[in-house]
Structure 1
Amino acid sequence: MAQAMMAAGFVSALLDYAVSRGADRQALLQSAGLAPADLTDQDQRVPVLAYQSMIAAAIATTGDTALLLRHTLESRLEMISVVGQIVHHAASLPHSIEQLNRYLRLMADANIPGDHDRFELLEDGNEVWIIDHLPIQTSDYVGIEASFARFISEFRRSFPDRPFALKLEVTYAPPPHVDEYPELFRVPVQFHAKRNAMRIDPVWISGDTEFEPGNTYVFGVFTRHADQLLHDLGQSDTFRDRIEAHILPDLHEGSLSMDKVARDLGMSRQTLYRRLKEEGVTFADIHDDLRHRMARDYLAARKVSVNETAYLLGFSEASSFVRAFRRWTGQSPTAFRDTVT
């Protein structure tokens, strides 16, 4: 099972913002398991889990639970991702959302259930809504906050004299910084709703409401670049992904047999070795890296203890897991878990 990935530009922008608010750059990079070289190109891919870990560490360091929301409202999408350039040169709001859904993977992988695009523009009587179909846990509010904040901030900046958002409906409970919502969002918010949606002024879907830029040449330049990036991503599904998906259910068994995995996949050990060598990775590398990622996932969720995490990852003793985790992150499992509370 390949882990979800995202564009490094978003991580880099958050890192810079958090540092400007008093966080330590190196500590945040360490919390995410990243190095500066991982963020040199905004189109590079980094794990979504690394970004989530950095958000949690930045919030813990600054004490500002609205940090990501504030950052989103104050930043410009076109400075972070080519997708921002595309939506800014779209002809209208419906066209912009169409492009957003088309190039969404260039920002972050997202598993949307059913046949939905992530964002849906819905006319309901006299009301117009933008619905975000990204499934979330009831306590996981930061992603949805940022999603709607991005729409609001881009329209607020580009069309300061024209109303856009009118109301928000969100499935999560009021967050710790709910008292700041009126100032930050500037629209009424309904919590514990059945969907995550934003009501907007109907004028934005009228036929005579087009975006000012409308530069088809510039739009074409950016979409050609984005199409190439999408093509490259489509070519990046690797043999390693197949191995990860196969061994994940057996991770708790500890020492996994490369011979057995090869037989299960209908090939010889030599063929398996050769295929992995072509991708510059070994079976042991995959096993170790998968343990690392799953350890961070389990600990960040705080639903199992350190000892239980060690068992789930196939370590015979918790002390062995602690040593491995220090090798991966430079922290103990307990210290890491404390940074993401």
Structure 2
Amino acid sequence: MSGSLENIRIHGSVVGGLEKYLASLGYDLQALALEYGLTLGPPEEWSTRYISLVEYSQFLERVSSLLNDPYLSLNWTSVDPAGGMKQMALAARFAPSPLEALKIMSRFASIAIDLSVCDVVIEKDTVYYCWDYSPLVVKPEQLTDRFASIVAQRFLTGFAGASSSPLEASMRREQPKNSSLYRQMLGGPVKFGSDINKIIFSREQLTQSNPGYDGEMFEALIELCERRLADTRKQGDLAALVQDVVVHRIASADLSLELVARDLGMSGRVLQRRLAENGTTFQEIHDRMRRDLASELLRNTGAPISEIAYRVGFSATGNFTRAAKRWFGLPPKQWRQQEAVVPEFLRSTMKKS
């Protein structure tokens, strides 16, 4: 896996609960991780390190297929709703109100998982908790189910001192065959095929006082989260920042050094110079991000070649084919046939292109 994909991470504490859940079904997490290409490291380090979010999301999809359980993450959450990163969860539990708890979960989400979007939006009487992933996470269905059900269950069960049932949820995933479990786990009606993941709350419910509020404990935990967030940000560099901007704009055929520089608040000339000082260029980063996303889509989805070309920023399929030959040594269709790990049920839906 390339370094760019490894930079999209999730905290290793997430796998502790998954190990127990799989063991209850008679499966060994580490054996499955080895078989399906998820790099975990030793168990004693899971609570202190990060793992690849791309690998983890693919792993959940493959385990779901192995178990023949399309609702794997919802069933897992029904017996293990805790999730990882206990410091952030505790800070939210001792917050002055459920609304402040939700804001904490947005503010410090990047300690636990790399998201492209994580916001709390307040509109009159409604509060929206919104999130999404890097385009490099091409199979996020089980990941989304787990994330959404953890957030919803925390508020349904009085996570911040009083129950705050979501009004509705919208998920950027395909419609499942049976949505009843989604309604049960997310606490209200669920819509599918949304442009972004959202859990929607009543502002009145979220602004009620938290009877479990503890000012001293809350401040101490916020300070701890601030330190963790600062440590996480220190690990980044300019190339990583450029990579983040590029991958979020990857579908744009006219993406340029100047556009990225503007997003980062500097001139194109300054960005070019600073990247050169780091031993790279904008063109190298852009090309690597295109290659990485193309390889993920070819390997792990049944999307037509023409659609993949568009999603990685090529206005013509022929240009993408030439780039794929340069990257992989083969045309994209042949490389997919050689490398793909698409489940059999998706292979039948692949369109000729």
Pair 242,90 (structure 1): closer, same or farther in 2 beyond 3 Å: closer
Match for residue 109 of structure 1 among 114, 136, 159 = 114
Structure-1 residue corresponding to 2:96 = 91
Q: Deviations over 1:52-79 (max 9, x none)?
A: 1111121011111111122234324375
Task: Report the TM-score, using the length of structure 1 for normalisation.
Answer: 0.66
Structure-1 residue corresponding to 2:11 = 7
Counterpart of 1:47 in structure 2: which amino acid?
S
Matched residues in 2 for 1:237 and 1:161: separation? 38
Matched residues in 1 for 2:148 and 2:182: separation? 12
Whether 1:17 and 2:21 are equivalent positions in the alignment is: yes
Q: Deviations over 1:112-132 (max 9, x none)?
A: 2xxxx52324334xxx34241
Matched residues in 2 for 1:136 and 1:317: separation? 26
Structure-2 residue corresponding to 1:217 = 216
Structure-1 residue corresponding to 2:179 = 178
Aligned to 1:230, the other structure's residue is in SS state helix
Q: Which moved more, 1:189-198 or 1:1-10?
A: 189-198
Counterpart of 2:22 in structure 1: which amino acid?
A
Give 1:239 deviation, angstroms: 7.0
Structure-2 residue corresponding to 1:130 = 128
Q: Deviations over 1:235-286 (max 9, x none)?
A: 11147748979xx99xxxxxxxxxxxxxx9769x9x878x9xxxxxxxxxxx
Check whether the contact 1:38–1:44 (CA below 8 A) recurs between aligned residues: no
Give 1:163 deviation, angstroms: 5.5
Aligned to 1:232, the other structure's residue is in SS state helix
Counterpart of 1:20 in structure 2: which amino acid?
S
Give 1:106 deviation, angstroms: 0.6
Whether 1:333 and 2:339 are equivalent positions in the alignment is: yes
Q: Deviations over 1:129-168 (max 9, x none)?
A: 4241437999854444334322321123337984522333
Match for residue 316 of structure 1 among 317, 323, 329 = 329
Aligned to 1:118, the other structure's residue is in SS state strand
Structure-2 residue corresponding to 1:82 = 87
RMSD: 4.7
Pair 178,136 (structure 1): closer, same or farther in 2 beyond 3 Å: farther
1:165-314 equivalences under 5 Å are: 165-170=166-171, 172-192=173-193, 196-206=197-207, 209-238=208-237, 241=240, 295-296=295-296, 298-303=298-303, 311=324, 314=327
Counterpart of 2:65 in structure 1: which amino acid?
A
Counterpart of 1:37 in structure 2: which amino acid?
P
Counterpart of 1:102 in structure 2: which amino acid?
R
Check whether the contact 1:103–1:230 (CA below 8 A) recurs between aligned residues: yes
Counterpart of 1:149 in structure 2: which amino acid?
S
Matched residues in 1 for 2:131 and 2:94: separation? 24
Task: Report the TM-score, using the length of structure 2 for normalisation.
Answer: 0.64
Please list every run of 5 or more consecutive structure 2 residues that lacks an aligned counterpart in the other structure.
251-270, 281-286, 306-320, 347-353
Q: Which moved more, 1:148-157 or 1:81-90?
A: 148-157
Matched residues in 1 for 2:101 and 2:80: separation? 19
Structure-1 residue corresponding to 2:152 = 152
Matched residues in 1 for 2:109 and 2:278: separation? 33
Q: Which has the higher contact order (CA 8 A, sep 6+)?
A: 1
Check whether the contact 1:310–1:317 (CA below 8 A) recurs between aligned residues: no
Matched residues in 2 for 1:303 and 1:98: separation? 36
Matched residues in 2 for 1:294 and 1:237: separation? 24
Check whether the contact 2:115–2:133 (CA below 8 A) recurs between aligned residues: no
Aligned to 2:168, the other structure's residue is in SS state strand
Counterpart of 1:168 in structure 2: which amino acid?
A
Pair 39,316 (structure 1): closer, same or farther in 2 beyond 3 Å: farther
Pair 31,122 (structure 1): closer, same or farther in 2 beyond 3 Å: farther
Pair 70,227 (structure 1): closer, same or farther in 2 beyond 3 Å: same
Aligned to 1:337, the other structure's residue is in SS state coil
Aligned to 2:303, the other structure's residue is in SS state coil
Pair 23,176 (structure 1): closer, same or farther in 2 beyond 3 Å: farther
Pair 135,40 (structure 1): closer, same or farther in 2 beyond 3 Å: closer
Check whether the contact 1:171–1:196 (CA below 8 A) recurs between aligned residues: yes
Check whether the contact 1:8–1:39 (CA below 8 A) recurs between aligned residues: no
Matched residues in 1 for 2:66 and 2:216: separation? 44
Give 1:171 deviation, angstroms: 5.0
